[in-house]
């Protein structure tokens, strides 16, 4: 895996989006665990969505707000997206849905073809499964490339993380690591396809 990534030139850069702004968020803690567990040659950057305004078509008509332009650009230039989101009332929290809605507008919808992995944690038993599946539905519509499995739905959060927010449950850590391996493979493959496509286009012109 590492050799393939090196062959394509640089590290795999992953944007980590948390669906929670809570200081002691389990989902943000899960992204921090992903930073530790990521394969070599993959970096996971935690992205702050808190400054994204609520979507308003009138605002967009005046041009994307700077925080939204930055988000859209960062999605474009990243190799992959890693989401960790709680479930609010059996669906996607407004923070994350709002950011996706802003980013998804034309031109150059940045999620198209983007490798995306979706994880979630909750205190309950179901591990934010409904939010996970609503996110999948959204990203199918936006024509992203999703990691199908293993599905990372972590329930009973208080037993899986310690009081400092470290993911301490070993089977869960192994599971998350294998999810990231899948994301790495898809991101490397996607980048190599793009490089080949660009080279073919350049030769043809």
Residue ranges in contact with ligand FNR by CB under 6 A: 20, 22, 25-27, 86-90, 122-124, 126, 128, 157
Judge residue 89's burial from the number of C-beta atoms within 10 Å of its C-beta, 0-12 exposed, 13-18 middle, 19 or more buried: exposed
Nearer CB in complex with ligand FNR: 128/187: 128
Among residues 12 and 17, whose Cβ is nearest to ligand FNR?
17
CB of 124 to ligand FNR, least distance (A): 4
- Closest approach, Cβ 89 to ligand FNR, in A, equals 5
Q: Which is nearer to ligand FNR, 8 or 20 (CB)?
A: 20
Between residues 88 and 102, which has the closer beta carbon with respect to ligand FNR? 88
Task: Determine the residue with CB nearest ligand FNR.
Answer: 86
Q: Can you tell me the distance from the alpha carbon of 17 to that of 98, in angstroms, rounded to the nearest whole number? A: 12
- 189-195 long-range CB contacts below 8 Å, 24 or more apart? 190/79, 190/80, 190/113, 190/115, 190/145, 191/8, 191/12, 191/79, 192/4, 192/8, 195/8, 195/9
Please report how close the Cβ of residue 195 comes to ligand FNR at its closest, in angstroms.
Answer: 36
């Amino acid at each position: 895996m590492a050799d393939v990534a090196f062959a394509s030139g640089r590290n795999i850069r992953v944007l980590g989006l948390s669906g929670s702004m809570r200081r002691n968020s389990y989902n943000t803690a899960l992204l921090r665990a992903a930073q530790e567990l990521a394969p070599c040659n993959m970096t996971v950057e935690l992205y702050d969505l808190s400054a994204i305004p609520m979507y308003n078509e009138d605002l967009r008509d005046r041009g994307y707000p700077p925080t939204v332009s930055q988000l859209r650009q960062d999605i474009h230039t990243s190799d992959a997206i890693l989401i960790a989101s709680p479930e609010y009332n059996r669906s996607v929290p407004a923070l994350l849905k709002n950011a996706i809605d802003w980013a998804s507008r034309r031109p150059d919808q940045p999620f198209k073809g983007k490798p995306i992995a979706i994880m979630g944690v909750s205190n309950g038993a179901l591990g934010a499964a409904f939010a996970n599946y609503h996110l999948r539905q959204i990203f199918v519509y936006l024509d992203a490339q999703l990691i199908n499995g293993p599905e990372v739905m972590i329930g009973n959060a208080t037993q899986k993380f310690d009081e400092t927010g470290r993911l301490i449950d070993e089977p869960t850590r192994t599971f998350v690591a294998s999810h990231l391996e899948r994301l790495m493979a898809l991101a490397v493959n996607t980048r190599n396809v793009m490089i080949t496509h660009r080279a073919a286009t350049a030769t043809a012109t």
